[in-house]
């Protein structure tokens, strides 16, 4: 049987071609596919990294967290993570006039929704120096976050404004801002070294002083804002309101300074004087004129009053006294929150020439006798007035020239009882 050599050659050629395809081309194709898969994986990984980097969020605030009232104030960083990704912070940089550039290794991990307070170990404030600091955080994803505020012990970043409304005459109001927790600082004046708390006082003098504003310099932190009132008539202190605030920006709050009114049986009509009880007056001669000021104020929780009658009674001991001004005065109208200022004048004469009897004293009582309600027409007498009278004592003294041997002495002689 004769074999066809051409057929055998075709079979051998086909076999060699198939061997080349399966041994070289297919592995090469698989290798190229693997390279393509690796490229796509790396591209996806890089894309995911860039997306995470773009979505990384941190809010950084610099504040004070210890050493209030001492020579060194500790510096802290408040880090908030409002995003959806955990953020790793290996390094913190701080820059101040006093220390220059400082680097601290912290290795922090802030999970989503977490707020973390971190104290800087290499930097502290001297309250007596005008130092400031700025902080920058570097994350593992390559982002950098700078603190939203630059802070110093005399250069706090934010302002807290407290507005008071409806204040009443006859009271002293105190607004107090006090730190709560482990970080924060406050001062009542710009350029003043901050403390753990600060306060401001207000005393209304007229009906135009019903509203006022208290401003405080504030570092980021948690605080309570309280309003207390001191009643000059009863000498009692009452807390009107107290609020808790978390402050990371300029803030304005409003407080109502309305004082609880008196009982229904009395009207908030008060009389007071700027002279303290037992005031000492030096007489230059045998006669002098004494002015006794007083102020009549009407609280906010009242109707307007008309025909408010003011009288005075004087009892003198050791001297003789004559009332120069009228002994009775009339205020035509008082509005709620309004004050009326006036005075009585008395001429005092000391006729006794004996040094042991120089001087004397006066006891006087200025009274609100009556008033009429403008709307109701009600007649208010002393029993229905909150503070109808004031009783004070004035001590009168004189100088007596005493001669001792060759020396002349001026002796102050007073007769108080």
CATH of the domain at 180: 2.60.40
117 and 210 belong to one structural domain: no
Is residue 394 within 8 A of residue 290, CB to CB? The reply is: yes
272 and 380 belong to one structural domain: yes
Query: Among 146, 173, 199, which residue terminates a domain?
Result: 146
138 and 171 belong to one structural domain: no
Is residue 167 within 8 A of residue 126, CB to CB? The reply is: no
| 45 backbone dihedrals φ, ψ, rounded to 5° | -65, -40
- What digits encode the pLDDT tens for the residues 81-105? 998 899 999 999 999 988 889 999 9
pTM of the model: 0.59
Instruction: Indicate whether 172 belongs to any domain.
Output: yes
301 and 407 belong to one structural domain: yes
- What digits encode the pLDDT tens for the residues 242-298? 999 999 999 999 998 887 655 446 788 899 887 888 888 888 777 888 888 999 998
Closest C-alpha among 224, 229, 211, 228 to residue 163: 211
Positions of the chain with pLDDT under 50: 1, 263-264
Task: Name the 3-class secondary structure at 301.
Answer: coil
CATH of the domain at 341: 2.60.40.10
Instruction: Indicate whether 188 belongs to any domain.
Output: yes
Is residue 395 within 8 A of residue 414, CB to CB? The reply is: yes
Find all residues with CB under 8 Å of 260, minimum gap 6, and list them: 238
Instruction: Indicate whether 50 belongs to any domain.
Output: no
Which of the 8 DSSP states describes residue 403? E
126 and 196 belong to one structural domain: no
Instruction: Indicate whether 48 belongs to any domain.
Output: no
Query: Among 118, 146, 174, which residue terminates a domain?
Result: 146
Range of the domain at 324: 267-414
155/132 Cα distance (integer angstroms): 7
Is residue 345 within 8 A of residue 362, CB to CB? The reply is: no
301 and 410 belong to one structural domain: yes
337 and 271 belong to one structural domain: yes
Query: Among 201, 224, 256, which residue terminates a domain?
Result: 256
With vertex at residue 346, the alpha carbon angle to CA 341 and CA 348, rounded to the nearest 5 degrees, is 150
Question: Do the bridges between strand 305-317 and strand 328-334 make them parallel or antiparallel, or are there none, so unpaired?
Answer: antiparallel
Is residue 359 within 8 A of residue 353, CB to CB? The reply is: no
309 and 354 belong to one structural domain: yes
209/211 Cα distance (integer angstroms): 6
307 and 328 belong to one structural domain: yes
339 and 286 belong to one structural domain: yes
Class of residue 75 by CB neighbours under 10 A (exposed 0-12, middle 13-18, buried 19+): buried
What is the reported pLDDT for 249?
93
174/164 Cα distance (integer angstroms): 10
Instruction: Indicate whether 120 belongs to any domain.
Output: yes
Instruction: Indicate whether 35 belongs to any domain.
Output: no
Alpha helices in 56-109 (DSSP H): none
167 and 272 belong to one structural domain: no
88 and 203 belong to one structural domain: no
Instruction: Indicate whether 36 belongs to any domain.
Output: no
Domain count, the chain: 3
Which of the 8 DSSP states describes residue 384? G
Instruction: Indicate whether 373 belongs to any domain.
Output: yes
């Amino acid at each position: 049987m004769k074999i066809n050599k051409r057929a055998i050659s075709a079979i051998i050629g086909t076999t060699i071609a198939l061997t080349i395809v399966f041994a070289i081309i297919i592995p090469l194709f698989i290798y190229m596919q693997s390279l393509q898969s690796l490229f796509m994986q790396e591209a996806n990984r890089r894309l995911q990294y860039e997306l995470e980097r773009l979505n990384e969020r941190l809010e950084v605030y610099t504040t004070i967290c210890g050493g209030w009232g001492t020579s060194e104030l500790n510096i802290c960083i408040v880090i908030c993570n409002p995003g959806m990704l955990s953020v790793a912070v290996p390094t913190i940089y701080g820059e101040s006039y006093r220390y220059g550039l400082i680097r601290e290794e912290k290795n922090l991990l802030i999970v989503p929704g977490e707020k973390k307070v971190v104290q800087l170990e290499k930097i502290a404030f001297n309250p007596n120096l005008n130092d400031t600091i700025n902080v920058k955080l570097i994350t593992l994803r390559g982002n950098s976050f700078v603190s939203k505020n630059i802070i110093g012990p005399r250069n706090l970043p934010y302002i807290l404004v407290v507005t008071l409304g409806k204040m009443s005459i006859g009271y002293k109001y105190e607004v107090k801002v006090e730190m709560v927790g482990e970080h924060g600082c406050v001062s009542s004046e710009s350029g003043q070294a901050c403390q753990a708390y600060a306060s401001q006082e207000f005393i209304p003098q007229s009906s135009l002083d019903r509203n006022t504003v208290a401003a405080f310099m504030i570092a980021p932190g948690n605080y309570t804002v309280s309003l207390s009132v001191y009643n000059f008539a009863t000498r009692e202190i009452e807390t009107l309101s107290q609020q808790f605030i978390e402050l990371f920006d300029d803030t304005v709050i409003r407080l109502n300074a309305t004082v609880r009114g008196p009982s229904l049986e009395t009207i908030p009509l008060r009389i007071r004087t700027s002279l303290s009880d037992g005031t000492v007056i030096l007489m230059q001669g045998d006669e002098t004129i004494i002015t006794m000021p007083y102020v009549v104020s009407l609280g906010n929780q009242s109707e307007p009053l008309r025909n408010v009658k003011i009288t005075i009674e004087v009892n003198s001991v050791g001297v003789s006294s004559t009332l120069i001004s009228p002994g009775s005065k009339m205020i035509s109208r008082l509005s709620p929150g309004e004050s009326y200022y006036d005075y009585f004048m008395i001429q005092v004469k000391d006729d006794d020439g004996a040094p042991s009897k120089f001087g004397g004293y006066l006891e006087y009582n200025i009274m609100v006798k009556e008033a009429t309600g403008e709307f109701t027409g009600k007649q208010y007498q002393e029993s229905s007035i909150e503070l109808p009278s004031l009783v004070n004592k004035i001590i009168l003294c004189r100088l007596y020239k005493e001669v001792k041997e060759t020396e002349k002495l001026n002796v102050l002689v007073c007769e108080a009882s």
